[in-house]
Amino acid sequence: MIRAFRLLLHFGYQEAMSCLFPVFIFASLALSKFVTIPGLGRYDLLLILCLLFQVVMVKTGLETKDELKVITVFHLIGLALEIFKVHMGSWGYPEEAYSKIFGVPLYSGFMYASVASYLCQAWRRLDVSLTAWPAPWLAVLLGAAIYLNFFVHHFWVDIRWYLMAAIFVVFWRSRVHFRVAEERLWMPLPLAYFLIGFFIWIAENIATFFGAWYYPNQRNGWEIVHLSKISSWFLLVIVSFIIVAQLKHVKSQITQGNPKSKQR
């Protein structure tokens, strides 16, 4: 019992440290809801705060330069998705700001980047490794299909449930291994996807409560985000995880082939 409690505390600490960027964004959302700066829009303030915190994360060594590159990729991918979804009326950002592009504030990309930050941090802090990972071409193809479906389903059929079935077929043998203190533990990869997606859905409820954005059913007042959004986050987490895993794989191959990299 004591051992299990100790492992839980250690795991909780590592998870909390991995969530520094998401927690900072939520704190900024809460603060900016009640504190205003004359002449500076809320979304502009959030963008400045996110940029400053990103600098702090790198300068203090909490995030590496390689992780910053990954996070930047997620920022761009997320911003592209935001612009399209806002254009299609899936959600919106009602407040005025100088830092808006096509109705989307630039700070919104950091909400996707914070997911990447969590994955990168947790990967390093928990010494994550994967077994029975599918062929890279298959993983990339599935990830691309999931991402494209977020766009295409507005004009064609929504194939998310077929994609979810494909996920369990492709990853049914895959496991994610992680270290908690001196213990090496594991869980099925689809379960890890679901758990991350579920907690992001909870975070999304907090974010919409503080006015980060709104869904059509929240125009006249806050309501709980529909449970169907869990499936969307489940799929988006998979895209995120595949990108991080593939980049880690590529980096590992480069490092193994470069003696100087090994020395560093």
Dihedral sign, Cα of residue 233, residue 238, residue 244, residue 247 = negative
Compute the distance between CA of residue 80 and CA of residue 84 in angstroms, rounded to an integer. 6
pLDDT digits 0-9 by tens, 4-19: 888 889 999 999 999 9
| Torsion, Cα of 32, 112, 92, 159 (10° steps) | -160
pLDDT digits 0-9 by tens, 50-71: 999 999 999 999 888 888 988 9
Which residue in the block uniquely carries the two structure tokens 């990108």?
Answer: 243
Compute the distance between CA of residue 73 and CA of residue 193 in angstroms, rounded to an integer. 20
pLDDT digits 0-9 by tens, 134-147: 998 999 999 999 99
Compute the distance between CA of residue 85 and CA of residue 82 in angstroms, rounded to an integer. 5
pLDDT digits 0-9 by tens, 237-251: 999 999 898 887 666
What is the token pair recorded at 160? 């998310």
The pTM of this model reads 0.86
Which residue in the block uniquely carries the two structure tokens 């082939």?
Answer: 257
Please report the pLDDT score of residue 264 as a whole number: 40
Please report the pLDDT score of residue 85 as a whole number: 94
pLDDT digits 0-9 by tens, 207-264: 888 888 888 878 788 889 888 888 888 899 999 999 898 887 666 665 555 545 443 4
The amino acid that residue 195 corresponds to is L
Q: Are 221 and 228 in contact (CB under 8 A)?
A: no
